[in-house]
Chains A and B, each alone.
Chain A
């Protein structure tokens, strides 16, 4: 069984500052993947970043990076130089390599203040 927990229902950050969104997970899979998706008010689900569990190196995509702590089952998202367009709901998600079930957390609503 897979579970994903996002303990911060809401976060806020000043424009140009850095913010970290938390996520913890649990899975029985030995081979699994972790994702952060962004959902702006337009309702689209946009992939932000992806991490393979077998890779020790933390994934980065421009201003977005993760801190993947496998032993602690923690997968936090860091957004650097926050922009107004980063304001959205952010979902952490987990899937096992051998199954098709993508399990989502309940989301963190990020507000970016000018």
Chain B
């Protein structure tokens, strides 16, 4: 029962470097999400994909891009990393047709530090 798998679990980058966070789910879910979690704050939505082939901005999209590669995979890219993007990143997925229809299932998170 893999659920939602995120790679890598930890990463350290230098300012200006780029990287892609990978996420895959094996629950045949339509919708996938990327969140960031900062100290003292709840999770904030970066981007989401309601279904394969679609992506939309969430609350804090600046500095990020996403790709819904297929139904299983949803990647998050930092083109030019900045210290303000130091955070823990969570990928999630859900069935149904909206965030409320079904609960979201989360990966274990990626701790990203940008120096």
Contact = CB atoms under 8 A, between A and B. Distances in A.
A96 B104 CA distance: 13
A45 B90 contact: yes
23 contacts: A4-B42, A31-B100, A32-B100, A43-B88, A45-B90, A47-B103, A47-B104, A50-B103, A91-B43, A95-B98, A95-B99, A96-B98, A97-B98, A99-B98, A99-B99, A100-B56, A100-B98, A100-B99, A101-B48, A102-B43, A102-B45, A106-B40, A106-B42
Nearest to B40: A106
A35 B48 CA distance: 19
A101 B58 contact: yes
Interface residues of A, number: 26
Interface of A: 4, 31-33, 35, 42-45, 47, 50, 91, 93, 95-107
Q: B interface, how many residues as a size bin?
A: 20 to 34
Contact of B100 (A4, A95, A105): A95
Contacts of B45: 101-103
A97 B43 contact: no
Interface string B34-52: 0000001111110010100
Nearest to B96: A97
Given A50-B103, A104-B42, 12 more contacts: A35-B103, A42-B108, A43-B109, A45-B90, A45-B106, A97-B98, A97-B100, A100-B56, A100-B99, A103-B45, A106-B40, A107-B42
Contacts of A45: 43, 90, 92, 106
A5 B70 CA distance: 36
A109 B48 CA distance: 27
A106 B40 CA distance: 6
- Among A31, A50, A91, A97, max chain B CB count under 10 A is at A97
Contacts of B108: 42-44
A22 to B, nearest CB: 15
B8 to A, nearest CB: 14
Contacts of A97: 98, 100-101
A93 to B, nearest CB: 8
